[in-house]
Each structure stands twice: as structure tokens, then as C-alpha cells.
Structure 1
């Protein structure tokens, strides 16, 4: 079994040209930026990667380009969520065959009304696990209408050995993380938070071992987790507080467009295009984001210069 990952696992955006076609050269440059940022792994094809706007063939091309560019320098996580257990299992198997270290999936849901009961959630993840040997992260996100109780997450980890990770990004994340650490214990060692790290310090106090944020400040958040883990709680808290205005603005005012805007501003990518019907950031929002990033001395702004 692979060692449990800790630290920072940023979500890499899917890079497009201005005409919304894939920019795989830009995708590769994002990988290099993240490796230079000393990330512990990277994640592709997540919601923040606009996975919902990609065709299956485009998914495969992004996976291949990312794994080829990573070249074993960092582990790669592939998001393989789909309502269909059959499709999710195939996606996970293909990701494993391509070289992914682990897969992340939300529980099955569709729209605002189609959710799935607990036993069917268990069956879903069991089906995925049967077709691949890689570890699985369950994504506990507010986007899903299928609830994941602490008891269900603990049951998934107990009954499906490949479920070793969970990403908790729901309101009151710290309380849920603390309960998971108590109830699931060693069966679920890889507890991460999300939401750009906006509640990272409370979540680390609760027992999280890492964070899944965007590409905005991966080096800083990685250092926060490492300092906290080494016992330098005050230093970790100071480092987090210093960038919290930027994190909060990204989380509450920008969304997934923020990382692309900063990657473009720093010359990592040529276009910050998002696929319609998503829209670019308003000029005023973008200006505020850049000012906060400059104030935080975000390395993304200088990496390519």
C-alpha cells in the first residue's frame, strides 16, 4: 500500500486557448509551476478544473499531458466523478492505467433533486474499487445533494479498504473532521480540507493532515501544513493569517476563475479563458484579486519572469 499523502494537493485548472480549445502546453506549464512550488501532489479534472465542461477524449488528453509532464516528480490525483457507477469505475480504471496515484470522486447525484441513499453510496464506491487498485478520496462537497454523514464516511473506509482519503469542504468542516478522526480513526487516515484553505488552521487543529486548494498560493499553504505538523503552530498561523484576505477573496468573490487569472498575470499560461456559460471575472474583481495577490507576494505572479 502506498504511503498516505499529506500536505498540499492543489487542484490544477484545465487550460484553454481563447477559442476554448485545450491548451496542453499551458497545462504542462501549470504542472511545472506546481512542482516548483513544492506541492505534495496535484489534482486534475476536479470541479475547479471545469471537469463538467470536458468531453471524454479531452479528459484523456489532459490526463496524458499531466502525467507525462509530472514524470514521477509528484503524484497525480484524477477526479473521476460521474453519476453512473459504471462510468465512474471505467474512468478510475483508465486513470490508474495511465499512472494516477489516486482518484477522487463525489458521491453520485444529479441536479438539485436526485440523491442516493447510504447503501447505494456504499455500492457505488465498491463498484469503483473493484475495477482499480488505486486509493480513493471521497469528496464531501456542498455541490452534491447526496449527503455524506460521518457514520457513512466511516463505513466506506471500513468496508472498502481503498477508501483512504476524504476531502471535507462543507460548512463547519473542523467539527466534521474532528468527528471523523474519532469515529473512523486509522481506517481513514487521509483527511484533507478544501475551499481554498479558508478554514485551514481550524481544520488542522481538528485533525486534517493536508489541504486541497487552488493554484493561487500552493507554496504558502504547503508551508503552513508543514509548520503545523512540525509543531510550529504559531508560525503556521501567522503564515496563514498573512494570506487569508487573498484566500477569502478567492473563495467568496471569484471562484475557479481566480487561479486562471493569476496564472495568466504571472505568465504561466497565455489565456485565462473559461468555457461558456462560465464568464471571466469582472474587471473590478480581477483588479482587487491582483492587488491582494501582489500584497501577499504570491509566487505565481513572478514564477515565469
Structure 2
């Protein structure tokens, strides 16, 4: 099976209405915005999409809207859950709806052993034969770090084609790149580490920032992958204040405030998250208006 995830993927936000419902028109607008900006892959229903508080009954409409607006780009649906049967069910459903693959976070709360992780991904793969899986390592959310040694065991599963690495540990990222089997892909899961991760061997980025500035983020990733270090560094430095502002509070709280500033959705999150505070909004507004060399193109 083949699924090229190199370049820029965007971890899509899920806009909500003031009544707390999924705002599908705003979501479609956001997808069109990032597609026009040049992203390569769309990733709905991940952490940034508040998948943990999206109802099962809401998922299909989000996936359908993304598939309809994707402009031929691959759609990789977040299907992770701490209950293996649930993750398997969501993955099978994503395959049936026509997605290109699934982003499957390591199970949270349960604290599985390495053998448990191997069995979890094997069960998910068995539920959707031939469907590409992207393992998602984000210990800050799950309380569990997927070590390079355990990942090496997951690579034995032919359906595991890539890892989204969000440990924040550049030494670990470099070790994964050093030992990456042929045909597998390493993706940075952190905007602020994308340049460094690509330098040590990652092939792309799954970005939060690209919801706001897809063109600028795509240019940074492309420059890094092409070996144009000077341009990649310039773009990274220009975008870094906004990258930092997007994580002043739990993602996607600041992102939703940024989307509001750009007219791409309401500043609404689902409990237990609450909207951004005034200090975060101020930093976001400053970062969107002023980069290292002045106004960020297309921002405001």
C-alpha cells in the first residue's frame, strides 16, 4: 500500500456554532482556505479537531465535508481511541467512507505496555485490511511515550506507514529517523520543531499553524525539504512568534481565537476547554500582524 505524506499536512480545527453544534459551513470554509494555501494532506478529527469531545453521530458529516472539499488531496482521519474496539470501529468507518488513511493516537489513560501497543495497532489494522495507518505519538496528551524501540516493532505491521512524532524530544526524533525502515515516513507533529525535524530526516509536518497561514507554512516546509536552509530559517523565524502564541494555552484554544481573528470561525471550544484569555488574544493579534520582517502576507 502507498500513501505519500511528505510535505505539509494540516491538523484541522472543528468550528462550532454559538449553540455548540459543529459548524459545517465554517469547516468547509476552513478546508477551502487551507487547500488554496497549498497544503498536501488534510487531517480532520485529531487533537486539534477536538476529537475527544466530538460525538460519534457528528463524525461522518465532518469526514464527508472534508472529502468533498479536499480538492483531490489525501484525507487522513483521526480514529484513535483508548478502547481498541472503538478505534477499530472508527478506522473501519473511515476506510469505508473513502479516506486515504487513519491517524491513530497511542491509547491514553490505560497505560498499555509495549506488547499492548503492538496488539492495539494489530487489531486496528485487522479491522480495516489494507488501510494505511499513521501512528501518533503525543505523550503530553496520552501520558505515554512511544519509544523508538516500540515503534520498531510497529513497523513490522505493513499497514503502519508513518509516525506523527510529537514527543518534543529532538534526540528521539533523530533516532527514529536514523532507524526508519525503507518505505516508512517520519512526520513532525510540532510546528516549532518542523525545521529541526526535517533536518534530521523527517519528510513533513502535521501542522496546527497551517490552519491560519497555510501558504507560509507550506513554503517553510518546502524550503526545508529542498535544502534551502536560509529561506527555511527566515520563514521559521518569521512564524515563530505565532507558533509560540498558538500554544500559550491548550491546543486548540488559541487556534480558535486566531481563526476568529481571520474570519474563519467562531472562537468557540467544547468543555472542558474554555476560550482563550485576553493575554493570549493579544499575543495572537500581535503575531498575526507582525512577523520578523513585518506583516505576515495574507494574515490581516
The TM-score bracket by the shorter chain reads: over 0.9
| Residue in 1 that maps onto 2:193 | 199
- Match for residue 60 of structure 2? 60
Match of 1:48, SS?
coil
The match for 2:269 among 271, 274, 281 is 274
What are the residue-to-residue correspondences of 1:241-260 with 2, within 5 Å?
241-253=237-249, 255-260=251-256
- Over 3 Å counting, the alpha-carbon distance change for 1:3 and 1:88 in structure 2 is closer
CA distance 1:145–1:253, shift in 2 (3 Å): closer
Change (3 A) 1:300 1:40: same
Q: TM-score, normalised by structure 1?
A: 0.91
- For residues 268 and 249 of structure 1, do their structure 2 counterparts lie closer, same or farther at Cα, with a shift above 3 Å needed? closer
Give how far 1:198 is off: 1.0
Whole-angstrom distance in 2 between the partners of 1:169 and 1:206: 15
For residues 276 and 3 of structure 1, what CA distance do their matches in structure 2 show?
Answer: 35
What is residue 165 of structure 1 aligned with on the other side?
162
The equivalent of 1:97 in structure 2 is 96
The TM-score, its normalising length taken from structure 2, stands at 0.92
1:45–1:80 Cα contact (<8 Å) kept = yes
**Residue 72 of structure 2: aligned partner:** 73
Name the structure 1 match of 2:223.
227
- Provide the residue aligned with 2:147 in structure 1: 149
Q: Is the CA contact (8 Å cut-off) linking 1:8 and 1:213 kept in structure 2?
A: yes
Q: Is residue 281 of structure 2 the alignment partner of residue 286 of structure 1?
A: yes
* SS of the residue 1:192 aligns to: strand
Deviations 1:163-198 (A, max 9, x none): 1111111132x211221122233152x111123x11
- The aligned residue for residue 111 of structure 2 is 115
Q: Give aligned pairs, total.
A: 293
- Superposed CA RMSD: 1.6
Residue number in structure 1 paired with 2:17: 17
Q: Is this contact kept in 1: 2:145–2:167, CA < 8 A?
A: no
Q: Which structure 1 residue ranges, 5 or more long, are not aligned? A: none
Uncovered stretches (5+) of structure 2, i.e. residues with no partner: none
Instruction: Note the C-alpha offset of 1:241.
Output: 1.0
- Counterpart for residue 181 of structure 1: 177
Where does residue 5 of structure 2 map in the other structure?
Answer: 5
